[in-house]
Amino acid sequence: MPAELLGVFGKGGVTKKLPVPVLTREELLGLHRNMVRTRKLDERGMKLQRQGRIGFYVPSLGEEAAQIGSAAVLQGSDWVSPSYRQPGVALARGVTPVEMFDNCFGNSGDAAKGRQMPVHYTFRSRNFISIGSPIGTQIAHATGVAMAMRIRGESKLCMTYFGDGATSSNDFHTGLNFAGVFRAPCVFVCINNQYAISLCVTGQTSSGTIADKARAYGMPGMRVDGNDVLAVLAATRLAADAARSGDGPTLLELFSFRMGPHSSSDDPSRYRSKEVEAEWAAKDPIQRFEQWLLAQNTFSASELAAVHTAAEEEMAEAAKLSEAKAPPSKDTLFEDVYAVMPASLQRQQAALRAEGDAHAQDRNAAFPL
């Protein structure tokens, strides 16, 4: 039998109800605020790309509940090994929108000094491992981090995120198999948005569900309504508690939908219908959460609207601040390679400095994807 779809809100194919997590009013507001901030960050990022102000962007429209609900159970000392579609997890970890836009502009404030692709963040102070483009590699990295925690006897965990397409990668098998054998404190979060760029999940696997794959690796698997933020939080909390207590890893399949394009270079109308998009737009995770909050008389409509306004203003200001920053210094090309710079690099550095601004016109070249 395929894994049941677990939910709190109901509807949307839910076959088993989860208990409503006990949360304070402030915690509920935090979930809602970070979901809205994630969407506004994505909207601003896509606008910047369409206006030619940044070269590339990867949105996560429709996946806000999956990101924020899962990230809500993380503690400060935990680690995250993400893919390129979890900006909300970074926000929930305390990363500022300015820091994230700094990466998109590749400016002097960028932690990677302009060396990474746009939307490939790294935030060491938040235990947020550098994002890489190769599909699935972060899964093996997460297992390694979790094993280090286990060897040290720490009650921490590593949470890794990946899409349905990554379940066909070598690293998915390697990471889950190793974690299952050695009981690594790892939470494997597959956000099944049903498309690996243009390939539908039905062409990706013949398993009944992705959660079913957990049995092959000797770990629990849960299939959760990924557009239900409270269900995501409840299920992830169970997985996190198991990891911290020494019971090993869990595979979570958060069933959702990528409502936007794969990236700013993609046209989803070429491989999916407007009818499918309309069906999922009716299951918008932010709208579902707001409807539940209003039904519980937890917040008023004006309070929820104020969150949207504040988030829009926050992202507009963040983009403005990032865009105004200068590009990285040319000297950064020679840093982070050797503890003591060798003479050969010193000569190259001096030669580049002597050229002055001869290549200044290249700074605004668009990213080629």
Same domain, residue pair 119 and 28: yes
Q: Taking a C-beta distance cutoff of 8 angstroms, is the pair 80, 67 a contact?
A: no
Q: Is residue 269 part of a domain?
A: yes
Distance between CA 141 and CA 310 in Å, rounded? 36
Q: Taking a C-beta distance cutoff of 8 angstroms, is the pair 252, 190 a contact?
A: yes
Which CATH number fits the domain that encloses residue 152? 3.40.50.970
Q: Is residue 102 part of a domain?
A: yes
Distance between CA 19 and CA 49 in Å, rounded? 41
Q: Is residue 366 part of a domain?
A: no
DSSP code of 58?
-
Helix (H) or strand (E) segment spanning residue 357? none
Distance between CA 4 and CA 333 in Å, rounded? 51
Query: Is there a catalytic annotation at residue 271?
Result: yes
Q: Where are the beta strands (DSSP E) in 149-203?
A: 158-163, 186-192, 195-196, 199-200
Closest CA relative to residue 131, chosen from 96, 93, 87? 87
Same domain, residue pair 318 and 334: no
Task: Return phi, psi of residue 291, to 5°.
Answer: -60, -40
Q: Is residue 364 part of a domain?
A: no
* pLDDT given for residue 50 in this prediction: 97
Same domain, residue pair 110 and 254: yes
Same domain, residue pair 211 and 264: yes
Spell out the residues 6+ positions from residue 291 whose beta carbon is closer than 8 angstroms to its own: none
DSSP code of 329?
P
Same domain, residue pair 186 and 256: yes
The alpha carbons of the chain give a radius of gyration, in whole angstroms, of 21
Can you say whether residue 13 is alpha, beta or left, with left for phi > 0 and alpha for psi between -120 and 50 degrees? left
Distance between CA 99 and CA 129 in Å, rounded? 15
Catalytic residue, chosen from 37, 44, 262, 288, is: 262
Same domain, residue pair 137 and 169: yes
The three-point CA angle 280-285-286 to 5° equals 130
The three-point CA angle 28-229-269 to 5° equals 135
Tally of domains within the chain? 2
Give the residue carrying structure tokens 């997890």.
89
Write down the pTM of the prediction: 0.94
Domain residue limits at 335: 330-357
Catalytic residue, chosen from 25, 215, 271, 353, is: 271
Checking 26-30 for CB contacts under 8 A at 24+ apart, the result is: 27/72, 28/293, 28/298, 28/299, 29/299, 29/307, 30/72
Query: Is there a catalytic annotation at residue 359?
Result: no
Same domain, residue pair 339 and 206: no
Catalytic residue, chosen from 93, 120, 150, 258, is: 258
Q: Is residue 101 part of a domain?
A: yes
**Can you give the pLDDT of all 369 residues of the chain as single tens digits?**
577 999 999 877 778 889 999 999 999 999 999 999 999 999 999 999 999 999 999 999 999 999 999 999 999 999 999 999 999 999 999 999 999 999 999 999 999 999 999 999 999 999 999 999 999 999 999 999 999 999 999 999 999 999 999 999 999 999 999 999 999 999 999 999 999 999 999 999 999 999 999 999 999 999 999 999 999 999 999 999 999 999 999 999 999 999 999 999 999 999 999 999 999 999 999 999 999 999 999 899 999 999 999 999 999 999 999 999 999 999 999 988 899 999 999 999 999 998 876 666 665 555 555
